[in-house]
Structure 1
Amino acid sequence: MITYYAYPKCTTCRKAKSWLEKNGVEYDEIHISENPPTKEQLAEIHKASGLELKKFFNTSGLVYRSLSLKDKLSTMSEEEQLELLASNGMLIKRPLAWDGEKAVLGFKEAEYQNTWL
Structure 2
Amino acid sequence: MLTLYGIPNCDTIKKARTWLDKNKVPYQFYDYRKDGISPDKVSSWFSEFPWDKVLNKASTTWKELSEEEKAKVTDAKSAAELLSSNPTAIKRPVIEDENGKALTLGYNEKIYEETYLK
Normalised-by-shorter TM-score class: 0.7 to 0.9
* Residues 3 and 97, structure 1, Cα contact 8 Å, conserved in 2: yes
Q: Name the TM-score, length of structure 1 as normaliser.
A: 0.85
Give % identity: 31
| 1:27-46 aligned within 5 A | 27-46=27-46
In the alignment, structure 1 segments of 5+ residues that lack a partner are none
RMSD over aligned Cα, in angstroms? 2.0
Q: Name the TM-score, length of structure 2 as normaliser.
A: 0.84
- Paired residue secondary structure (1:55): helix
In the other structure, the counterpart of 2:87 is 89
Runs of 4+ in 1 over 4 A off after TM superposition: none
In the other structure, the counterpart of 1:58 is 56
In the other structure, the counterpart of 1:72 is 71
| Cα 1:102–1:89 shift into 2, 3 Å | closer
Q: CA deviation at 1:40?
A: 1.1
Equivalent residue pairs, number:
114
| Cα 1:113–1:107 shift into 2, 3 Å | same
